[in-house]
Structure 1
Amino acid sequence: MKAALYGYVQRQKAGAETVKSWLEKRVENMIKEQIALPVWLITHP
């Protein structure tokens, strides 16, 4: 029982890490887009 619970907790942690890294990528891409658009507008009159 304890081993099953431990495995479940490890999976939850792994899932949380996956979500965290996905969110970080999303935020990073959003920031890049926020920067890229004004730069593109400035460089393409």
Structure 2
Amino acid sequence: MKIGIIGAGLAGLTAAIELAKRGFEVDVYYVDDLTYSNSYKL
């Protein structure tokens, strides 16, 4: 199952790590002031 998390703060990254440990495919989305948007896959 794929899960998207909006926000790469402490809570968002913690949730992403815990979900990835449980076998989920996680995408973390955040806004960067320089490029306006980025996404990373764990």
Higher strand share: 2
Higher helix share: 1
Q: Rg bigger for which structure?
A: 1
Per the normalisation by structure 2, the TM-score is 0.35
